[in-house]
Amino acid sequence: MKPNKQLLLKKRPVGLPEKDTWELAEADLPQPNEGEFLIKCEYISLDPAMRGWLNDTKSYIPPVQINEVMRAGGVGKIIESKHSDFKEGDYVYGQTGVQQYVTSDGKGFHTIDPDIAPLPMYLGTLGMTGMTAYFGILEVGELQEGDAVLVSGAAGAVGSVVGQIAKIKNCKVIGIAGGTDKCNYLVEELGMDGAIDYKNEDIRVKLKEYFPKGIDVYFDNVGGEILDLALGRLAMHARIVICGAISQYNNTSAIKGPSNYLALLVNRASMKGMVVFDYAKDYGKASVQLGQWIREGKLKSKEDIHIGIEKFYESFLRLFTGEKLGKLVLKVSED
Amino acid sequence: MKPNKQLLLKKRPVGLPEKDTWELAEADLPQPNEGEFLIKCEYISLDPAMRGWLNDTKSYIPPVQINEVMRAGGVGKIIESKHSDFKEGDYVYGQTGVQQYVTSDGKGFHTIDPDIAPLPMYLGTLGMTGMTAYFGILEVGELQEGDAVLVSGAAGAVGSVVGQIAKIKNCKVIGIAGGTDKCNYLVEELGMDGAIDYKNEDIRVKLKEYFPKGIDVYFDNVGGEILDLALGRLAMHARIVICGAISQYNNTSAIKGPSNYLALLVNRASMKGMVVFDYAKDYGKASVQLGQWIREGKLKSKEDIHIGIEKFYESFLRLFTGEKLGKLVLKVSED
């Protein structure tokens, strides 16, 4: 048995990935060259965007190649270093991939401090999903104090932070999530002003109730029918942030375009796409602010941690079945 | 026979309006009260937006009511005045409706000078369609020198001005229109860099040819399939101006939403709706600039004039069959 378990992409899925999309393989422990270091991967980030990386299409990032280690952000500990800027014992964040060990020349990696926050939080609220929420709602959504804000996927890693930031900015915030438990969580734990259970409630009726004057900002993580209903309830000069479209990622037919898009014209509204990497130069500033809100108790960070690289597939599927709360994280090894 | 022919809305059309949507009626000559004036309507503006005013749905403006005179912008001559700011002999622009005579208290009317430009031009390049083009491409589209610009409905009243403004601003401009004659007109008369004949050419292939680095600004008058193809060819940080969707106005089924809308995300692009009325306070400034470009020979204004209020229906249909060039105008009376 070789010591480095790795998850390799074996085929390109059509629709919802099946288990044989990936294969768990074993490799030798990689050896760092001069100017490199060796990381023991501790936690891996599971994100809806990973589904897009499996498609052989032009996008904001190249697809994962067949037989390559599955791409993933991760945090881990440096156990050997031949790099002048990183030393043994440092904890780092970067694109580790879904595997137990990886070497790096440091490109795209930065150190993190496990004494300031638990490691998994660096994959969520203090990581890419937190950054996405922060820049998405504040910069792309041009959030103003007092705005009426709707967020879908509101119990998820990005949505839960978006909703809380909007509350901090004195907005009215309504979240959409699936099921009573999640909806209670949004209102009781995260302090949102209301929640819509898309599995059991009439979204159109609820939007009318919650937004008598229309939606100023809609932060869209899901696309599909919910995007159309939000378009049908816009306020003048509304902003829609297109962050994702999880309802459409496993489509086998064409993506459903928003048939209400002419509401943009009627309401002089905008719909704008975002990719978080564009804000990389300001990650530091955002981290400081998010960290401060967490310390002040204004921002709650929730991670849903599953254990063992062997559980990758079952855990990944939870992104699409909705059986998770907050940021989905895989602890790589049981120890 | 009463002297004032008026076109009344008689029923709400489904799909492309049929002739009995309207009825030509006759009314007495209206008499101006104190503070009002009487206009002899000379030219009426025919616009795709009129189709929307027939639907009994919430929009940026209330629908025309059954048995009301059909709403339309028009220009005419004041033949009697009891208003201190408007005098007999003045020419005015305003919402005259489709009729031969109308009184007004002056609200929404302003005088125009027939010595500076022919009357029909005040319905087109120096009127609402010119304003729409001007603010749409420059403000909503945030046009930058050197941008690669695509405009649909490019031989139409708005599109032809959009394309010419973009050329004045040193952009590369490709227009989409139907048929060889219109396409030749775009390149040879209006100076666009290329044209795509959507009736006879493969738009996808042509977009790839004309926009090797992608589209920076797409000015959309048509919606439907062409919007989707443009989305599939965006450059990073592209802007889409949603000005209209003429391909969808007579739909009897749901509007086709742009299924490629996630291209907004991949390209960090935006799609923004506009209604020209929002720029009313700056119409004057725009008129001066447009007038100057016309005098300098940089901007050509084209009106397609049909004669007689009796010809309203046949003329209106040309908006949707494409059998027109430039601004469609109805001369109210034969004299």
Nearest to B91, CA basis, from B126, B39, B143: B39
As a whole number, mean pLDDT of residues B215-236 equals 96
Residues of B in contact with A265 (CB under 8 A): 60, 242-245, 273-275
Which band of pLDDT confidence, cut at 50, 70 and 90, is reported for residue B304? very high
Judged against a pLDDT cut of 90, whether residue B250 lies above it is answered with no
Interface of B with A in 222-241 (CB under 8 A): 223, 228
In this structure, what DSSP letter does residue A63 have?
Answer: P
Q: Does B242 touch chain A (CB under 8 A)?
A: yes
Task: Report the gap between the CA of B104 and the closest CA in chain A (Å).
Answer: 27
d(CA A218, CA A234): 8
- Given this model, what pLDDT does residue B251 score? 81
Residues of B in contact with A62 (CB under 8 A): none
Task: Report the gap between the CA of A321 and the closest CA in chain B (Å).
Answer: 21
Give the β-pairing of A234-242 and A215-220: parallel
Domain ranges of chain A: 4-124+302-331, 128-277
Which band of pLDDT confidence, cut at 50, 70 and 90, is reported for residue B246? confident
As a whole number, mean pLDDT of residues B90-94 equals 96
Judged against a pLDDT cut of 90, whether residue B184 lies above it is answered with yes
* CATH architecture under which domain B4-124+301-331 falls: Alpha-Beta Complex (3.90)
Residues above pLDDT 70, as percent of chain B: 100
Residue with tokens 């375009």: A257
| Regions in chain A scoring below 70 on pLDDT | none
**In a 10 Å sphere around its CB, with 0-12 CB exposed, 13-18 middle and 19+ buried, how is residue A110 labelled?**
middle
Q: Does B275 touch chain A (CB under 8 A)?
A: yes
Judged against a pLDDT cut of 80, whether residue B1 lies above it is answered with no
A164, amino acid identity = Q
- Given this model, what pLDDT does residue B31 score? 96
The answer to whether A272 contacts B262, with C-beta atoms less than 8 Å apart, is no
When the candidates are 3.40.1160.10, 3.90.180.10, 3.30.390.50, 3.40.50.300, the CATH number that belongs to A4-124+302-331 is 3.90.180.10
Q: Which of A255, A261, A273 lies nearest to residue B268, judging by beta carbons?
A: A273
- Given this model, what pLDDT does residue B2 score? 86
DSSP assignments along B212-244, one per residue: TT-EEEEEESS-HHHHHHHHTTEEEEEEEEE--
Nearest to B159, CA basis, from B209, B107, B217: B217
Q: Which of A60, A242, A268 lies nearest to residue B273, judging by beta carbons?
A: A268
In this structure, what DSSP letter does residue A62 have?
Answer: P
The answer to whether B268 contacts A275, with C-beta atoms less than 8 Å apart, is yes
- Given this model, what pLDDT does residue B57 score? 86
pTM value?
Answer: 0.91
The answer to whether B271 contacts A268, with C-beta atoms less than 8 Å apart, is no
As a whole number, mean pLDDT of residues B194-219 equals 98
Q: Which of A58, A59, A267 lies nearest to residue B273, judging by beta carbons?
A: A267
- Given this model, what pLDDT does residue A78 score? 98
The distance from CA B1 to its chain's CA centroid, rounded to whole angstroms, is: 34
- Given this model, what pLDDT does residue A7 score? 98
Lowest-confidence region among A324-328, B253-257, B306-310:
B253-257
- Given this model, what pLDDT does residue A248 score? 84
Judged against a pLDDT cut of 80, whether residue B335 lies above it is answered with no
Which band of pLDDT confidence, cut at 50, 70 and 90, is reported for residue B317? very high
Residues above pLDDT 90, as percent of chain B: 91
Which band of pLDDT confidence, cut at 50, 70 and 90, is reported for residue B205? very high
- Given this model, what pLDDT does residue A165 score? 98
Nearest to B73, CA basis, from B116, B27, B108: B108
B244: its two tokens: 């209209």
| CATH fold group of domain B128-277 | Rossmann fold (3.40.50)
In B, minimum Cα distance to A256 occurs at B259
Residues of A in contact with B259 (CB under 8 A): 254-257
Contacts of B209 (CB under 8 A, 6+ apart): none
pLDDT tens-place string over residues B156-179: 999 999 999 999 999 999 999 999
- Which segments of chain A are extended strands (E)? 4-9, 22-27, 37-45, 73-81, 91-95, 101-104, 110-112, 148-152, 172-177, 194-197, 215-220, 234-242, 270-273, 303-307, 327-331
A95: its two tokens: 């694109």
Nearest to B305, CA basis, from B54, B31, B32, B44: B44
Q: Which of A60, A259, A275 lies nearest to residue B257, judging by beta carbons?
A: A259
A247: its two tokens: 């309802």
CA dihedral A159, A162, A167, A172 (to 10 degrees): -70
Lowest-confidence region among A324-333, B60-69, B241-250, B283-292:
B241-250
The distance from CA B91 to its chain's CA centroid, rounded to whole angstroms, is: 21
In this structure, what DSSP letter does residue B202 have?
Answer: -
Which helix (H) or strand (E) is B101 found in, with range? strand B101-104
Q: Does A253 touch chain B (CB under 8 A)?
A: no
Q: Which of A58, A256, A271 lies nearest to residue B264, judging by beta carbons?
A: A271
- Given this model, what pLDDT does residue B263 score? 95
The answer to whether B273 contacts A254, with C-beta atoms less than 8 Å apart, is no
